[in-house]
Chains A and B, each alone.
Chain A
């Protein structure tokens, strides 16, 4: 592999991007896996999530066991323990307490719960879990961290100098890997739509008929360009956006366009937290890499 290709991983970025991703994804995680916000705002997942997700209403015995991995099913007690562990780890991740370890633990626990019942699978949950797993590679606890704030407070009380000074720049390679996640999503969504049935607009017509696509914004776009036009535009967006995100000169414009794209999708159909997750992952494209001398010993 050429040096030029491998320089993809080199360079530095502002450290703040990593805690920003951590807080954004952990916040979405906590909102998506429970119904805390029900008293204030009704979100799509509140239709079937009561309390903590996967904790409610155990099926009668004998229960359907349909794990993704043969033989990997969880008892009610194990499910309960993992759901509580998942919630605790998400709170620790949000607060930046043992942030990297919390991210690893959260990804593992979440995948265990997902794998125990194939009916729990949603694309956006898988994307959320894999994003959290990749966060563990980055210095996500470097700032905006309760742990560091407590340490600084303790040192101030004791009158000693805090051992960890906030650091302005960090390695870019974890960010490059995190950027690859939404790019993969866009490319995969594009390739899946290279289907005559979708491109003719037939799928969109069906989604509308069954009330999956609805709302004023959908009707406006449909009337403007038609079913076939929307299908073609969706496919074009899913190939153009990742390409524009990959190129430095178009990157920031692509972030703005992608945010609009996801806002539009979220206005038309139930995609749960997918739009918000992509919006947070798009934050990864905002910092520019700089190529200061390497800090690697």
Chain B
């Protein structure tokens, strides 16, 4: 391999790939262990082995179907496929008595993104995929209630939803024991 002179750089053999790929391939002739390793990696970068390509293809295509099969919203690309009414109810148990917690007292403690989804659910909110996000965060909401009500023994966050049909209401809730209970 002719050594490139200053001002007359050797033309790149693989110009669309990083410069070190060219260098590694050019050094192949020296035959030492290090150049052999970098040559193998350079070749890998130019065209990864078939199993890697197939794995990358699977990574590009399959996750939405896996998410749908698991019933998860995250990564499922379920674009407005359903619509629900939903309502979130928050409560704490203090000295054995259950007390309802107003959504507006919780609102300042929510991120702006959470606020736009959770606060309307103090009444009757309407949503598509965000209902699943609320369902997944019920234990976190219950833990927040514990932090907001130091005297509470337990906290509960409940979600009820229906597809605009009062006979098809489904309910889920999370209840946690508050660590700071006296």
- Show the binding face of A for B, using Cβ within 8 Å: 1, 6, 8-9, 15, 18, 48, 54, 56-57, 59-66, 68, 100, 117-121, 123, 126-127, 130, 134, 137, 139, 142, 159-161, 163-167, 170-171, 173, 176-178, 180-181, 183-185, 187-189, 191-193, 195, 197-198, 202-203, 206-207, 210, 212, 269, 271, 294-297
Q: Among the interface residues B12, B80, B129, which one has the most CB atoms of the partner chain A within 10 A?
A: B80
Q: CB within 8 A of A180: which of B61, B79, B117, B148?
A: B61
The A-B contact count (CB < 8 A) is 186
Q: Is the CB of A189 within 8 A of B79?
A: yes
**Do A126 and B74 form a contact, CB below 8 Å, given A60-B108, A64-B111?**
yes
- Show the binding face of B for A, using Cβ within 8 Å: 6-9, 11-19, 25, 28, 39, 42-43, 46-48, 50, 53-54, 56-57, 60-65, 68, 73-83, 106, 108-114, 116-118, 126, 129, 133, 136-137, 140-141, 143-144, 147-148, 163-164
Q: Is the CB of B110 within 8 A of A118?
A: no
- The 5 A-B residue pairs with the shortest CB-CB distance in the complex, in nearest-first order: A188-B64, A139-B16, A192-B78, A62-B147, A180-B60
**Do A66 and B140 form a contact, CB below 8 Å, given A48-B112, A163-B9, A165-B15?**
yes
Contacts of B6 in A (CB 8 A): 160
Q: Is the CB of B56 within 8 A of A100?
A: no
Q: CB within 8 A of B74: which of A66, A121, A188?
A: A121
A210 to B128, CA, bound (A): 12
A205 to nearest B CB, angstroms?
9
Q: Is the CB of A121 within 8 A of B73?
A: yes
A244 to nearest B CB, angstroms?
17
6 A-B residue pairs with Cβ-Cβ distance under 8 Å, sorted by A, are A62-B144, A167-B15, A167-B16, A177-B53, A188-B68, A295-B14
**Do A170 and B16 form a contact, CB below 8 Å, given A63-B111, A66-B140, A126-B74?**
yes
**Do A207 and B80 form a contact, CB below 8 Å, given A59-B108, A118-B133?**
yes
A183 to B64, CA, bound (A): 11
Q: Is the CB of A6 within 8 A of B50?
A: yes
Q: CB within 8 A of B83: which of A1, A66, A207?
A: A207
- Nearest chain-B residue to A238 (Cβ)? B79
- Nearest chain-A residue to B130 (Cβ)? A119
Contacts of A170 in B (CB 8 A): 16
Q: Is the CB of A165 within 8 A of B75?
A: no
Q: Is the CB of A296 within 8 A of B43?
A: yes
Contacts of A163 in B (CB 8 A): 9, 12
B155 to nearest A CB, angstroms?
12
A157 to B137, CA, bound (A): 59
- Nearest chain-A residue to B116 (Cβ)? A48
13 additional contacts, CB 8 Å, given A184-B77, A189-B81, A192-B79? A18-B16, A61-B109, A68-B74, A117-B114, A118-B133, A118-B136, A119-B117, A137-B56, A192-B68, A197-B163, A198-B81, A203-B80, A296-B47
Contacts of A18 in B (CB 8 A): 16
Contacts of A166 in B (CB 8 A): 15
Q: Is the CB of B77 within 8 A of A127?
A: yes
A123 to B68, CA, bound (A): 13
Contacts of A139 in B (CB 8 A): 16-17
Contacts of A54 in B (CB 8 A): 113
- Nearest chain-B residue to A179 (Cβ)? B60
**Do A185 and B77 form a contact, CB below 8 Å, given A64-B114, A139-B16, A210-B126?**
yes
A54 to B67, CA, bound (A): 25
A212 to B8, CA, bound (A): 62
Q: CB within 8 A of A177: which of B60, B63, B136?
A: B60
A178 to B48, CA, bound (A): 15
Q: Is the CB of A164 within 8 A of B75?
A: no
Contacts of B13 in A (CB 8 A): 295
- Nearest chain-B residue to A62 (Cβ)? B147
Contacts of B143 in A (CB 8 A): 65
Q: Is the CB of B82 within 8 A of A198?
A: yes
A189 to nearest B CB, angstroms?
5
Q: CB within 8 A of B65: which of A100, A178, A191?
A: A191
Q: Among the interface residues B14, B54, B75, B81, which one has the most CB atoms of the partner chain A within 10 A?
A: B81
Q: Is the CB of A189 within 8 A of B78?
A: yes
**Do A203 and B46 form a contact, CB below 8 Å, given A127-B77, A188-B76?**
no
Contacts of B48 in A (CB 8 A): 173
